[in-house]
Structure 1
Amino acid sequence: MKKHIKKVAVIGSGIMGSGIACHFANIGVEVLLLDIIPRELNDKEAKKGLTLEDAVVRNRLVNEALAKSLKSKPSPIYHSKFASRITTGNLEDDLPKIAEVDWIIEVVVERLDIKKQVFEQIEKYRKPGTLITSNTSGIPIAFMSEGRSDDFQENFCGTHFFNPPRYLKLFEIIPGPKTRPEVLSFLNTYGEKFLGKTAVVAKDTPAFIGNRIGIFSIMSLFHAVKEMGLTVEEVDKLTGPVIGRPKSATFRTVDVVGLDTLIHVANGIGENCPKDERHELFQLPDFIKTMSDNNWLGSKTGQGFYKKVKGDKGKSEILSLDLDTLEYRSKKRANFASLELTKPIDKVIERFPVLIGGKDKAGEFYRRSFGALFAYVSHRIPEITDELYKIDDAMKAGFGWEHGPFQIWDAIGLDKGLALIEEAGQEPAAWINDLKGGGETSFYTVKDGATYYYDIPRKEQVKKPGQDAFIILDNIRKSNEVFKNSGVVIEDLGDGILNCEFQSKMNTIGGDVIAGLNKAIDLAEKDFQGLVIGNQAANFSVGANIGMIFMLAVEQEYDELNMAIKMFQDTMMRMRYSAIPTIAAPHGMCLGGGCELSLHADKVVAAAETYIGLVEFGVGVIPGGGGSKEMALRASDSFRKNDVELNVLQEYFLTIGMAKVSTSAYEAYDLGILQKGKDVVVVNKDRQIATAKAYAKLMAESGYTQPVRRKDVKVLGKQALGMFLVGTDSMEAAHYISEHDKKIADKLAYVMAGGDLSESSYVSEQYLLDIEREAFLSLCTERKTLERIQHMLKTGKPLRN
């Protein structure tokens, strides 16, 4: 099915509708967002003498909803200017406009009667062949399209986005009784390729895949928590990052989503799944009923499992709910011996065997919860899906789990998982015995760089579909490894392209990473065509290893520190001026040194969710790995005839001086960190390494020529330096910055002005690197800089001193 989506209509502008509209605007699609008209005037409209017939009144609900969404944090949109792609309207005046769109998405209230009324109106104006989908989270798709035309039903299905649509990747596609296979195939491809989603085709069962397993997991925990005598804080400690789940863990997540939402879905499963073998778990515990009766629904009502209050001195405090007394109290620190044992284990997947072996309450909790989860997911096949990998994909993409249930079971071991099921008083589904009886020992295997999963009907491992567009580093690391040290792994991506993958903690850039980068360039120049610097961890890199810098500075090993910084600078310049194209593939946090690396690549292939910036001011220094030099160079390249060059330079200066970090890759263009016409953005992070490889190959085969080192960087000397120093004096005098902030800013000003040259001059990059390094080292001798670095190492937060 060949179809181009140029324009979509979103019917319903609530939290989900506006979020979906924003995400389509994110990817460049024109959006028509419609909602009902108000039934009465508000006070403001009445005072102005407006009537219900005025356009501003008729579109008030949709406009207010979209404005509220655009102001929310985190933002639903990649860049504020993308909001111009959304046109608003109302269902009475503007519904005929849906005849012009390629896809209509219904996102109205979760009531079947209302949805059917909306579809009846939509069919009056919808042109034949237009896609029509519902974002329902649980109403059977078969019921919604009853009575509609054949063309409507053939092009109709469910498309369940998860909230917030920009950030949660799960995109469940649920066919109706007459949905054409071509429609499902198109939506699956479009969701993955254009929307950047993990698309999963689900069966038309209550709550589909993600919510069926996710709500079971939460409800199972609700029933277990009081039996085991666990507190809210303890449960969130046990179900958070330690097992690869979001920081909000369980109870904080429920507060954010809303207890009423969870109750609605749980009740729906309870009412519509009477044959579920764990049906009793979907009945609400007494403490949940009480919270609902008290309207303690979470963030939306100001209190849920947690409550934010102000103390006597005006300082905010987060209280937590005592599940026994149902009264709020000060939070208690949660500690478990089992968790201490996992601290040296960086990879989450390797922690599970340790956690279930714990002798304390944590170990008991994990054995009980995983035993129940393994049994439950085994019984959901073939009820909610025929393929086990879809359950894992749904939990990872919809609930932010790093590993799905069957992946965790593999990590623990098939037999140990069966023992946990028995210990939990449950039984596995019959197909598990077939798997074991057939000699299989795991649900997944990796062959020839591809993931295979156990196919239940065929009783054998088959290749997971949809991998051809991806390069999965976990799958190729061992077989394609070319070099490895403690900081990096260098893999052969094929077609003459190498990949340098960081392996340090938080992907910080220290000595081993620098050595690995140089080795990668050596290998690529000798035997390959190009180099990608990319990884598939949570973050590309949080920057240089400031712990190493702190140690050298405290011990006053300035010669060694100078050599380390020069090595960093020289490596960045090697990337810039190597004989092969270098492609950086940043994603997630890309800060400080990670940003400097990206600045020096021939091309950046950034994931849309890239938060990139030069943040060195937060630890009391300036960018010392070529970042200060590079921003001065980019300012120089931006100078145009009749420009006020000082103003251009100032913008680049402020990007560093204010430690600006983009909230998406698209904002990085505004900061001068990404360059239009050169760097590109991919929405689906899973495609990033493959896309970067393709660009490296294209550049190499198009006749890549090693660049010539620059000696033509225009710097403005005393003219710029004087302007910057006057500015920092004013800022300090007005108490906007501290004395030490001023000292750092003045050092940066000196570098970006090219020193105190008497007039504008042309200088080399090396000249700027030398004065950058000198400024960096001088700041490392300052006590207040060391205090800032130490505070960052201890707390992870910047210190203002």
Structure 2
Amino acid sequence: MNAKRVIKKVAVLGSGVMGSRIACHFANIGLQALLLDIVPKDAVAGARNKLVNDALAAALKSSPSPIYNKTLAKNITTGNFEDDMPKIAGYDWIIEVVVERLDIKKLVFDQVEKYRTPGTLITSNTSGIPIHLMAEGRSDDFKKHFCGSHFFNPPRYLKLLEIIPAADTLPEVTDFLLHFGEKYLGKTTVLAKDTPAFIGNRIGVFSIMSILHYADKTGISIEEVDKLTGPVIGHPKSATFRTSDVVGIDTMVHVANGLSQGVPDDEAGHLFQIPGFVTKMVANNWLGSKSGQGFYKKDKVNGANVFSTLDLKTLEYQPSKKVKFASLETTKTIESLSDRMKVLFAAKDKAGDFYRAIFYQLFAYSSNRIPEITNDLYKIDAAMNAGFGWETGPFEKWDALGVADTLKAMEADGHKPAQWVYDMLAAGASSFYKIEDGKRLYYDIPSKSYKIIPGTEEFILLDNIRAANTIWKNSGTTITDLGDGIINLEFHTKMNTIGGEVIEGINKAITLAEQNYKGLVISNEGANFSAGANVGMIFMMAVEQEFDELNMVIKAFQNTMMRIRYSSIPVIAAPHQMALGGGCELCLHADKVVAHAELYMGLVEFGVGLIPGGGGTKEFALRLSDELQDGDIEMNNFRDRFLTIGQAKVSTSAQEAFELGYLKKGRDMVVISRNRLLAEAKKQCLLLADEGYTQPVQRKDIRVLGKAALGLGYVGANTMFSGNYISEHDVKISQKLAYVMAGADLSQPTLVSEEYLLNLEREAFLQLCAERKTLERIQSILTGGKVLRN
């Protein structure tokens, strides 16, 4: 790798859906991005950048947002190919993202050659045009620094970045891009060969097309397929047909046709032929979400959304039906995906038949793509994990089922894998992956030995160390030794909610750390850090009017949060994805938060008719005190903090969490790469410990504003109620929130203690638990997942 190469400025050529969003993601990490496109035909003076400006504006307005925070858009400069192409001379990486036509790309590269500084990286975001064809006729320096860099859409959220070198690409260029993409862009970077559709789309489109043909042949319904290919097997909720609608059926057909023509010798090439029902759908312009209907259709009936599904035989839409399979029902209590899959593949019903037919075929196909599309099996799994959202890729699934036993079943079904699989088993290797010394190894086919996955040496992944390093666990938590005197606490309750077992785990972890270790990290590898407190438990106690017990539970929660803050060792929280309610409160009390960039953090208790009761309201009052200034700004700050809780604001990124006051500037930090989060959290914990950590002292100097702030909260709530923006019950919750944050109805600003505020907070929380309308709200969340505004 070229240690001297630094990327500070990136030029993105082409501002379409992909180009504008790629520019946004570079802006996300603080780089300067130059976004260029053509001058519109007949452009009037002053409007030569209209096309690119409109494209960027549309991207910034889109949902989900391609940018962590709208303020980061200042990192993007727009321009056009005619006036601004000379500016690329000052940029470190030039990415071409124009229309997928070789002739147009070559015209753009002609311009790039005129102005590009020698040694500058130049890549194409093509998803299908061969890289070697784009390199033809270019200068030697261009060829050496040119390759494919295929981002998946949307670039901020889908983690796959395929790097595809051409024949003359310098190895250090490829190595640099693989490293930069992973560490700084947060991508799963995969080295791919210059073959049609590369890795992700070659395997992904094969999987979709094989399912379409299976549906055409067997008559299995769209609803049944999507039930079988969703979360139950670790795939996204959009499963197969909804995913096709979102991607665009015409896009899927384009890629499949390209593969059909581009890989004529593919042993399963017939599956890239378009089924008749898909051809008719394209002819009818039923292209999915973009055209308003595809495999699914949404209509408005009496103001309500009504969903219908296409019958693949009649090509008529029918009301969507819920489907059930006996085998799926039996796996509802099986948490482990690998254990669940064993049951599903052994099932003797329609579901089992589907899984065996589809995945035995996929396993064989994937094995036969080595060494055609890649030399290494882990790259196929990585591409499917990151590009298609599969929790496990083809070889990981095969491992879970048992390689040797599954091989026999595949042969019996007429799906014979590649010879190297037989050679692997003959060499005494029984799995595609294994764990050694906390690192994940893959089976290297040429050497017939296991090797560490390149680029993962610096990662600390709990899945790799848990079995060997667990020092304590209960039903909801596990404490793991990370080495160097640091331990980690992870949750593994449903949605990582915080109940009694998690409270016990937090206290046990702090006790162990105080006795025998240097510090504690709280992190996990679940889908979300924590969805908050166990509201089901709160609901049951409130319904039974067990308020003394509920008071003890809330007090225990508060005490635990305070113990995180005031333990004798540093406590680091490393949240990712959702950190809501109690999960957010935990982070508020940590010594430092090392947050993943994709962090959706918020105090959302208002939505269930409550205020934050685990120290969150107290903490906002404390933070308000620390930033208060005399005069009107005082009340402005109070209002902002009050509204953050009162409107249950959730950050759309870690960057926004700073603006909302959930993260502290100068203290907390953001990590872009999810795989590096725990390693960085451990590093920060060690730094605090080794610098001579001093146990903090509980605060007794919190300045609360009393009646002045309380009046502001009351007036604001009543005004919102008068305008029909909130309900009468919302007013009551707002008043309780204002009462706590103001420090009660004190006649003047006063210094109070944390304990004083915690008591106010808990009292208000319990009073709201006694309200019928609060219980209705909690019940609505528990039974239907819907926020009730009663």
| TM-score > 0.5, shorter chain as reference | yes
Query: What code does the residue aligned with 2:713 have?
Result: F
Of residues 586-595 and 730-739 in structure 1, the stretch that sits farther from structure 2 once superposed is: 730-739
The more displaced of 566-575 and 110-119 is: 110-119
Structure 1 partner of 2:451 = 462
Work out the CA distance in 1 between the residues paired with 2:14 and 2:364.
38
Q: How does 1:679-758 map to 2 (within 5 A)?
A: 679-758=668-747
Deviation per CA, 1:396-431, whole angstroms, max 9, x where unpaired? 000000111111101111123213422432211000
Shift of 1:347: 2.6
Which residue of structure 2 aligns with residue 116 of structure 1? 106
Counterpart position of 1:256: 246
User: Which blocks of at least 5 consecutive residues in structure 1 are unaligned?
Assistant: 41-51
Aligned pairs (5 A) from 1:436-475: 436-475=425-464
- After TM superposition, the structure 1 = structure 2 runs for residues 155-170 of structure 1, keeping only pairs within 5 Å, are 155-170=145-160
| Aligned equivalent of 1:518 | 507
2:74 to 80, 84, 105: 84
- Tell whether the 8 Å contact from 2:230 to 2:236 is kept in structure 1 after alignment: yes
Contact 1:374–1:417, Cα closer than 8 Å, also in 2: no
Deviations 1:520-539 (A, max 9, x none): 00011111111100011110
Equivalent position amino acid for 1:490 in 2? I
Work out which of the residue numbers 64, 69, 76 in structure 1 matches 2:59.
Answer: 69
The one of 398, 407, 414 equivalent to 1:425 is 414
Residue in structure 1 matching 2:138, options 139, 148, 163: 148
Q: Check whether the contact 1:368–1:423 (CA below 8 A) recurs between aligned residues.
A: no
Q: 1:588 aligns to what?
A: 577
Tell whether the 8 Å contact from 2:179 to 2:455 is kept in structure 1 after alignment: no
1:552 deviates by 1.0
Instruction: After TM superposition, give the deviation of residue 643 of structure 1 in Å.
Output: 5.0
1:220 aligns with 2:210: yes
SS in 2 for 1:757: coil
Q: Which residue is 1:760 aligned to?
A: 749
TM-score normalized with structure 2 length: 0.99
The equivalent of 1:24 in structure 2 is 26
1:54 aligned to which of 32, 37, 45: 45
Provide the rounded CA distance (Å) in 2 between the counterparts of 1:424 and 1:254: 28
Give deviations 1:650-696, integer Å, cap 9, x for gaps. 11111110000001010111111011111101111111000000000
C-alpha contact 1:370 1:420 (8 A) present in aligned 2: no
Q: C-alpha separation between the residues in 1 aligned to 2:52 and 2:776? A: 50
- 1:657-696 equivalence runs, <5 A: 657-696=646-685
Which of 561, 565, 579 matches 1:576?
Answer: 565
CA distance in 1, matches of 2:62, 2:71: 16
What amino acid sits opposite 2:681 in the alignment?
Answer: A
Residue identity in the other structure for 2:171: P
Residue in structure 1 matching 2:125, options 121, 126, 135: 135
Cα distance in 2 between the residues matched to 1:158 and 1:60: 28
1:368·1:420 contact (CA, 8 Å) conserved in 2? no
Tell me by how many angstroms 1:765 deviates: 0.3
Report if aligned partners of 1:135, 1:158 keep a CA contact under 8 Å in 2. yes
Work out the CA distance in 2 between the residues paired with 1:370 and 1:416. 14
Structure 1 residue 642: Cα displacement: 4.5
| Percentage of pairs with the same residue | 65
Which residue of 2 is the match for residue 477 of structure 1? 466
Distance 1:53 1:573 in 2: 63
Q: Distance in 2 between matches of 1:757 and 1:392?
A: 61
Residue 489 (structure 2) pairs with residue 500 (structure 1): yes
Matched, 1:35 2:26: no
**Number of aligned residues:** 788
Deviates more, 1:226-235 or 1:556-565: 226-235
- Identify which of 14, 17, 27 aligns with 1:15: 17
CA distance, structure 1, for counterparts of residue 44 and residue 742 of structure 2: 60
- Distance in 1 (CA, whole Å) between partners of 2:543 and 2:304 is 35
Please give the alpha-carbon distance, in whole angstroms, between the structure 2 residues aligned to 1:316 and 1:534.
39
Q: Pick one of 399, 405, 410 that aligns with 1:416.
A: 405
8 Å Cα contact 1:371-1:423 kept in structure 2: no
Report SS of the residue matched to 2:83: coil
Aligned pairs for 1:640-659 within 5 A: 640-642=629-631, 644-659=633-648
Query: Where does residue 783 of structure 1 map in the other structure?
Result: 772
Q: Could you say which residue in structure 1 is the equivalent of 2:6?
A: 4
Alignment partner of 1:374 is 2:363? yes
1:542 and 2:531 are equivalent in the alignment: yes
Distance 2:747 2:383 in 1: 63
How many angstroms does 1:116 deviate by?
1.2
Q: What is the CA–CA distance in structure 2 between the aligned matches of 1:53 and 1:142, rounded to whole Å?
A: 39
Change (3 A) 1:788 1:423: farther
Alignment of 1:272-421 (within 5 A): 272-311=262-301, 313-421=302-410
Residue identity opposite 1:270 in structure 2: S
468-477 or 728-737: bigger deviation: 728-737
Deviation string, structure 1 residues 136-166 (Cα, Å, up to 9, x no partner): 1111111101011000000000000000000
The alpha carbon displacement at 1:130 in A equals 0.5
SS at match of 1:700: helix
User: Does the 8 Å contact 2:617/2:741 carry over to 1?
Assistant: yes
Deviates more, 1:315-324 or 1:768-777: 315-324
Partner SS, residue 23 of structure 2? helix
SS at match of 1:351: helix
SS in 1 for 2:168: coil
Alpha-carbon separation, structure 1, partners of 2:356 and 2:468? 34
SS of residue in 1 equivalent to 2:371: coil
RMSD: 1.0
Aligned partner of 1:48 in structure 2 is none
1:575 is matched by which residue type in structure 2? Answer: I
AA matched with 1:55? G
CA deviation digits over 1:318-356, x for unaligned, max 9?
221111111112111111111111110123232110111
Separation in 2 of the partners of 1:665 and 1:335? 39
Query: For 1:443 and 1:89, how far apart are their aligned partners in 2?
Result: 49
Q: How does 1:580-659 map to 2 (within 5 A)?
A: 580-642=569-631, 644-659=633-648
TM-score w.r.t. structure 1 length? Answer: 0.97
Residues of 2 paired with 1:550 and 1:449: CA distance? 41
Q: Deviations over 1:222-273 (max 9, x none)?
A: 0001222211111111111111111111111111111111111111111010
Contact (CA 8 Å) 2:216, 2:275: kept in 1 or not?
no
Is contact 2:529–2:575 with CA below 8 Å preserved after alignment? yes
- The aligned counterpart of 1:180 is 170
Question: Any stretches of 5+ residues in structure 2 without a counterpart?
Answer: none
Q: Distance in 2 between matches of 1:170 and 1:35?
A: 25
Conserved 8 A contact 2:607-2:648: yes
Q: Measure how far apart 1:734 and its partner are.
A: 2.1
Separation of aligned partners in 2, 1:39 and 1:644: 50
* TM superposition shift of 1:501: 0.5
Matched, 1:533 2:535: no
Q: How many Å apart are 1:740 and its aligned residue?
A: 1.1
Counterpart contact for 1:616–1:659, Cα < 8 Å = yes
2:441 and 2:450 in contact (8 A); partners too:
yes
Distance change in 2, residues 1:20/1:420 (3 Å):
farther
CA distance in structure 2 between the aligned counterparts of 1:453 and 1:551, rounded to whole angstroms: 48
Q: Which amino acid aligns with 1:127?
A: T
Residues 45-96 of structure 1: CA deviation (Å, up to 9, x unaligned): xxxxxxx35132x111111111111111100000001111111111111111
Judge conservation of contact 1:487–1:502 (CA < 8 Å) in 2: yes
- Residues 277-303 of structure 1 deviation map (CA, whole Å, 9 limit, x = unaligned): 101000000011111111111111111
